[in-house]
Chains A and B, each alone.
Chain A
Amino acid sequence: MKKTPPAVLEQVAGNGLLSRRHLLGVGLAGLGTAATTAAFGADAGAVFEIPGWSKQPGPGSSGYGAPSSHAGNLQRQAGAPNPLYPGGGASRSPLQHLQGTITPNSLHFERHHAGIPAIDPAQHKLVINGLVRQPLVFNYEDLLAYPMVSKIYFLECSGNSGSLFGNNAAAGSVQSLHGLVSCAEWTGIRLSTLLEEAGVQADARWVSAVGADAASMGRSVPLTKAMDDVLLALYQNGEPIRPEQGYPMRLFVPGWEGNISVKWLTQLKLTSEPSQFRDETSKYTDTMRDRRSQQFTFPMGAKSVITSPSGQMALTRKGLYQVTGIAWSGNGSIRRVEVSADGGRSWADAEIESHQSEKALARFRIPWQWTGADAVLLSRATDSTGAVQPSRAAILEERGNLAQYHYHGIQSWGIDAAGAVSNVYV
C-alpha cells in the first residue's frame, strides 16, 4: 500500500483541536490509518470478495419506509409510564445518532399532557373567538385552500436540559440530557391570515390557544408574536403532522418554548390579558432566589451541545475525530460556535452549516485529535443578537437552582484515558 506523507496539522486550540480547514480533508491523509486497519482486520493483504447481498435480489419497494436495521438504535427515549398521569410525559430525540439539522418525524421529541388524541380531521374544528369582529370556525379541508409557507424551525421544550440545574452531574447521554429539542420543516398558514379574516379588535393583546387533547392544554400567546411569524402548521417535513405532534394541526411559535406551540389546536381566543393557564403559572415558570418567579419567558436562549462525542459514548482508538453538534437560538441565527477540548482554557471556531439559520438548528463540526489523555469537550454558541451561551456557573449565579426551565448553559463532556465520555461539571 502507498504510504501517505506525514500530516502537517494546524492546531487551533489546546488538547488537539484542529483547524476547520482540515474538514476539507487538507492534511488529514494518514491520520485514519489505524482505524481503517482495525475495521478491516490486521491483514492488509486481505482479498476482497463480492458480498452476499450483491448476489441475490432484495425485497421490493414498500408503502412507508423504515430505517435500516443496521442503522443503530434509532429510537426516542421515554420515561416509564405513570399510571397517575395517563398519556403524560415526554420522549427524547436520539441526537447522538443524527446528523445535519432536520429531525426525522418518527424521532421528533414528544411532550404530552394527557396523551395523544385520535382526531378525525373531518370532525375537527378550529374556532377563533373573543375580541374579534366576527367569530369564525374553520374546517380542516377548507384550511388546505389557504396560502401556506414552509419554514425550518427548531422546537425545544423549556424543560430541556433541566437536570443540569442539579448539584451533581447526572449520568446520561446527549439524548437523555438534551433530547427535548428537534428541528423540522413546518408548512402551514400564517396565523395572521386567519386572525385578520376574523378581524382583530383594537383592545386585543393576547391569543389564548387551546388544544383538543384530554387536557385541553392552553397557552396565551402575545398578539404581536401571533401576527408576526406564528404558523398554523399542517405539515411536518412534507407529510401531514404526526399525531404526536398535533395532527391535524398545531400552533407553531418559532423560537419560543415548545409548550406554547399548542398541539391539536382547536381554539384561538383573542383577549386583552393572558388567560393565566395552569401551564403558564404553576408550570413553565422559573423561581428565582428571591422566590419570585419569572413568567412568560418565551424565547429559548442561545445554546449548543456536542452530539458526538457525547455522554455514554466510548472512543475506541486514539487519533482523529470529528467533533460535531447542534446550535440554536430562539432570538435569531447562530453566528459562531466555539469548541474547547481542554475544559474551556482555549477555544477554536467550529465550521457552521445551516440551511435556514433563523430559529433553526445549525450543525457545527471541527476536527480533533485525541491523544489518549483526559479531555473535556465544550461548545459555546453566539447568536445574531450577540448573545453568548453562558456557562452553567453563570446560570446558577444569575438564577439560582430553584428554576427548572430554560436551561441553556454550556455542556461539558469529560473523556477519560479509557475513552469513556460522560457528563461532567467544570
Chain B
Amino acid sequence: MYKLSVRTFFGACALLTASLLLQSATAQSVGLGIPVTEAQLQAFDLIVGPDGSDLPEGSGSPLQGKIIYEARCQACHGLNGEGTIDNTTLAGGDIHSETTPVKTVGSFWPHATTLFDFIRRAMPADAPKSLSNNEVYQVVAYVLYLNGIINQYAVLNKDTLLTIEMPNKDGFMDQSQIQ
C-alpha cells in the first residue's frame, strides 16, 4: 500500500509537470489558428472511418444504385463491375485464386466504410463530389450487391452499413506497430 501511494504521488507530480509544460508550450505557440466548431466543418470533413461515426444521414438500395451506376460509373467500371481497363474492376475476383488474384471491392477491400468514404470524396473520376449522400449510399449498395455481399432489397444507411462484413476483412496485417 505504501509503495502504491508513493507511486501515485509521483504519478500525480508527473501529470502536474506535464500539464504545466503543456500550458507553457501553448503559451509560447504563435496562436494564429482560428477556432472553429465541428458543426462548421460538417460539409467540409468527408472522412468516414471504420467505426462509422461520421456517416451522414441518408439511405440507398441496390436497385436505386443501379440507375446511378449505369449513368455515372458503368463507362469505366463495366456493366456488372467487371471493369474496362486495369484497376477498374469492382466485382468478382478471388484473393485465394491459384493465379494472380483480381483485387476488387468484394475480393480485397476490408471495410465497407472505405467504399462510402472513397466514392463520396473521389468518384466519379470525371466529377468527384457530384453525388448526393443518398446517391453515394445507393452506389455503395449496388457495388456491394454486384459482389454478392448484400441482396437487391437491402437498404444501406449509417446503421446498416456498419453491419456489413467484407469477405477479406481479416486479410490485412497492420505493420504500423501502433496498436
Task: Please list the residues of chain A having a beta carbon within 8 angstroms of any beta carbon in chain B.
Answer: 82, 84-86, 88, 113-114, 127-129, 134-139, 142-143, 145-147, 193-194, 196-199, 205-206, 208, 210, 214-218, 222, 224, 267, 269, 271, 273-278, 281-282, 285, 287-288, 291-298, 402
Q: Give bound CA distance, A136 to B118, whole Å.
A: 25
Q: Do A291 and B122 touch (CB < 8 A)?
A: no
Q: Do B172 and A275 touch (CB < 8 A)?
A: no
Question: Assuming A114-B128, A196-B26, A210-B47, is B114 touching A278 (CB within 8 A)?
Answer: yes
Interface residue? B150 (CB, 8 A): no
Interface residue? B45 (CB, 8 A): yes
Main secondary structure of the interface of A (DSSP, over half): loop
A279: nearest residue on chain B (CB-CB)? Answer: B118
Q: Do B36 and A127 touch (CB < 8 A)?
A: yes
Q: Give bound CA distance, A422 to B48, whole Å.
A: 47
Q: Do A137 and B121 touch (CB < 8 A)?
A: no
A214: chain B residues within 8 A (beta carbon): 122, 128-129
Q: Do A215 and B121 touch (CB < 8 A)?
A: yes
Distance of B163 from chain A, by nearest CB (Å)? 17
Q: Give bound CA distance, A274 to B125, whole Å.
A: 24
Distance of B18 from chain A, by nearest CB (Å)? 11
Q: Do A267 and B121 touch (CB < 8 A)?
A: no
Distance of B100 from chain A, by nearest CB (Å)? 6
Summed over the interface, the residue pairs from A and B with CB atoms below 8 Å come to a total of 165
A222: nearest residue on chain B (CB-CB)? Answer: B178
Quick one: which of B48, B100, B111 contacts A402, CB cutoff 8 A? B100
Interface residue? B173 (CB, 8 A): yes
Interface residue? B95 (CB, 8 A): yes
Q: Give bound CA distance, A86 to B58, whole Å.
A: 29
Main secondary structure of the interface of B (DSSP, over half): loop
A197: chain B residues within 8 A (beta carbon): 26, 29-31, 33
Q: Which of B159-179 contact A (CB under 8 A)?
A: 171-176, 178
Q: Give bound CA distance, A206 to B32, whole Å.
A: 23
Quick one: which of B32, B75, B84 contacts A138, CB cutoff 8 A? B32
List of 4 A-B pairs having minimum Cβ-Cβ separation, nearest first: A136-B33, A296-B176, A142-B32, A216-B121
Known A-B contacts: A271-B49, A277-B117. Give 8 more (CB < 8 A). Answer: A127-B44, A135-B37, A214-B122, A218-B117, A224-B178, A292-B172, A293-B171, A294-B173
A114: chain B residues within 8 A (beta carbon): 122, 125, 128
A-B contact pairs, 8 of them (CB 8 A): A88-B125, A146-B32, A197-B33, A222-B178, A267-B45, A271-B47, A278-B117, A282-B103
Query: B37, B49, B95, B114 — which one has the most chain A CB atoms within 10 A of its CB?
Result: B49
Q: Give bound CA distance, A137 to B108, whole Å.
A: 36
Q: Do B109 and A273 touch (CB < 8 A)?
A: no
Q: Give bound CA distance, A281 to B103, whole Å.
A: 11
Q: Do A215 and B32 touch (CB < 8 A)?
A: no
Quick one: which of A82, A139, A291 contacts B101, CB cutoff 8 A? A291
Question: Assuming A135-B35, A197-B29, A291-B96, is B178 touching A281 (CB within 8 A)?
Answer: no
Quick one: which of A199, A216, A277 contacts B26, CB cutoff 8 A? A199
Interface residue? B25 (CB, 8 A): yes
Interface residue? B71 (CB, 8 A): no
Q: Give bound CA distance, A49 to B47, whole Å.
A: 69
Q: Do A281 and B114 touch (CB < 8 A)?
A: yes
Query: A88, A142, A206, A277 — which one has the most chain B CB atoms within 10 A of its CB?
Result: A277
Task: Please list the residues of chain B having a beta carbon within 8 angstroms of any beta carbon in chain A.
Answer: 22, 25-26, 29-38, 41, 44-51, 75-76, 84-85, 88, 95-96, 100-101, 103, 108-111, 113-114, 117-118, 121-122, 125-126, 128-129, 171-176, 178
Q: Do B128 and A137 touch (CB < 8 A)?
A: no
Q: Give bound CA distance, A34 to B45, whole Å.
A: 66
Distance of A194 from chain B, by nearest CB (Å)? 7
Q: Do B172 and A293 touch (CB < 8 A)?
A: yes
Question: Assuming A197-B26, A214-B128, is B111 touching A136 (CB within 8 A)?
Answer: no
Q: Give bound CA distance, A20 to B69, whole Å.
A: 63
B45: chain A residues within 8 A (beta carbon): 127, 129, 267, 269
Q: Do B172 and A281 touch (CB < 8 A)?
A: yes
Distance of B29 from chain A, by nearest CB (Å)? 4
Q: Do B36 and A276 touch (CB < 8 A)?
A: no
B49: nearest residue on chain A (CB-CB)? Answer: A275
Q: Do A138 and B33 touch (CB < 8 A)?
A: yes
A200: nearest residue on chain B (CB-CB)? Answer: B22
Distance of B8 from chain A, by nearest CB (Å)? 18
Q: Do A281 and B46 touch (CB < 8 A)?
A: no
Q: Give bound CA distance, A194 to B33, whole Å.
A: 8
B44: chain A residues within 8 A (beta carbon): 127, 267
A136: nearest residue on chain B (CB-CB)? Answer: B33
Q: Give bound CA distance, A295 to B45, whole Å.
A: 24
Quick one: which of B35, B41, B47 contacts A208, CB cutoff 8 A? B47
Quick one: which of B46, B85, B175 contacts A296, CB cutoff 8 A? B175
Question: Assuming A84-B88, A196-B26, A197-B33, is B174 touching A296 (CB within 8 A)?
Answer: yes
Quick one: which of A129, A291, A297, A298 contacts B38, CB cutoff 8 A? A129
Question: Assuming A276-B111, A277-B118, A296-B174, is B125 touching A269 (CB within 8 A)?
Answer: no
Distance of B11 from chain A, by nearest CB (Å)? 14
A128: chain B residues within 8 A (beta carbon): 33
Q: Do B36 and A287 touch (CB < 8 A)?
A: no
B36: chain A residues within 8 A (beta carbon): 127, 129, 135-137
Quick one: which of A135, A138, A295 contacts B173, CB cutoff 8 A? A295
B34: nearest residue on chain A (CB-CB)? Answer: A137
